[in-house]
Amino acid sequence: MASAAPSAADSSARPPRRILIVLLGAIGDVVRALPLLGRIRRAYPDAQIAWAVEPKSEPILRAHPWLDEIIVHDRSRAPWAFIPFLMKVRAGRFDLVLDLQRHLKSGITALASGAPDRIGFASANAKEFNQLFSTRRISPQPPMRLKLMQYQAFGDALGIAPAPIEFGLKISDSELARAKSILAEAPAPRLAVVLGSSWPSRIYFPELIAATIRALNVSADGGPALFPVLIGGPADARLAAQVVRNLEGKSVLNLAGRSTLRDLIGIFPQCAAVFAPDCGPMHIAAAVGCPVVSLWGATAPERSAPWGFVDFALRGEIPCHPCYLRECPIGRECMRRIHPEDVAAAVRRALTLTAPPATASQSEHAGEDGAAPPRDSREEAH
């Protein structure tokens, strides 16, 4: 590992003027890296900060108040689309790159930037020889450390001050109005039910989802009856239809394929709680302060639980957990062992939370003042 960076508070150190964050892919990863963005913005209020990302996660970053520029790599257009993307990165004339992706493609992106200072993961955590493209690396990270905190280690490598764990997700008034109109047919209090995941092995069963909804759709233990709102993309339409059939005529708002990532930033704050498998929307919900009950089988909550809601992570107890297999060879038995009554009980507990932990100062990197990063009114920056 190379020597640590000079402290941002050291007057002899020249602060970076143009910074690039490379984190191209998963929605959940991009959300969990936002607190690092906020920490960097606090430390370098006058820097120009860009983010290299793929289209599926770009809506999370769009109009973000702490970000100046988004450089999109649309790999679906053609294999050679990587070349013009790299040319855009090169044209940015960055002097600092943080490679949070740890893969070959992100390493090449960092190198193509021409930045003299390129920070990446240690060899023990990198993949596809990614470490060879960095000029220095962060300390080796325990594999089961929360990924959000692994990203915070980049701030430590820069020597910048700790900051509150904040996400800064905001939408415009018109976007909020759209989110409220989408929910107009769903009476409060609402239960958001996230259906899908990018890994088939993570998905909960439709009959178990429906059983959980039925348990929460009635008043119990002093708690209110919750109206279910199904959340999912177009690929989740079949699963949504199966859940609806299992509800046998109970009222439900089915938004599968009818809402966007930007919509979710406005929808989740209008819900009393959410339950979900390991997926990107789960992290969006936590980031905007909606209590999250998460369901775990193939993957581990120790590494990926939504921020602030690790106590509401439920796992199917089975010897092969966590296997990290996209396709389960034994029929998702781990998810089968998560019982609807336990999910419902966890949601009831989550409803008693009095403040959203997602924006609280609750880690070794949390600050004390709770103030938002500087330049927080820059919604029109790009």
DSSP 160-206: PPP----------HHHHHHHHHHTTTSPSSEEEEE---SSGGGPPPH
The first and second tokens of residue 191, run together, are 């239960």
Would you say the C-alpha torsion 27, 376, 260, 236 has a positive or negative sign? positive
Which one is predicted more confidently, 81 or 136?
A: 136
User: Which amino acid type is present at position 147?
Assistant: K
Euclidean distance between CA atoms 357 and 288, whole angstroms: 10
CA separation for the pair 248, 34 (Å, rounded): 41
Q: What is the pLDDT of residue 75?
A: 79
pLDDT above 90: residue 359? no
Containing 18, the helix (H) or strand (E) segment is: strand 18-22
pTM surpassing 0.85? yes
Distance CA(239)–CA(210), nearest Å, equals 11
Q: Average the pLDDT over 238-261 and give the result.
A: 97
Task: Tell which wins on pLDDT, 364 or 91.
Answer: 91
Candidates 118, 139, 155, 137; CA nearest to 44 is 155
Lowest mean pLDDT among 34-48, 63-77, 281-295, 350-364: 350-364
Q: What is the per-residue DSSP string for 287-356?
A: HTT--EEEEESSS-HHHHPPTT-GGGEEE---TT-S---SS-TTSSHHHHTS-HHHHHHHHHHHTT--S-
Query: In the prediction, which pLDDT does 13 show?
Result: 67
Rounded CA separation 292/194 (Å): 10
Which sequence spans correspond to the domains of the chain?
Answer: 18-158, 176-359
pLDDT confidence tier of residue 353, bands split at 50, 70 and 90: confident
CA distance 349 to 360: 19
Spatial CA neighbour of 153 closest among 48, 70, 40, 69: 40
Mean pLDDT of 205-212: 98
Q: Does domain 176-359 have CATH number 3.40.50.2000?
A: yes
Q: What pLDDT is attached to residue 373?
A: 56
Instruction: Indicate the length of the chain as a whole number.
Output: 382
Question: Coil, helix or strand for 234?
Answer: helix
- Cα–Cα distance between 141 and 147 in angstroms, integer? 9
Identify the band that residue 366 occupies on the pLDDT scale cut at 50, 70 and 90.
very low
**Given this chain, do its domains 18-158 and 176-359 carry the same CATH topology?**
yes
Q: For residue 354, what pLDDT is reported?
A: 56
Give the class (CATH, top level) of 18-158: alpha beta
Sign of CA dihedral 344, 346, 351, 356: negative
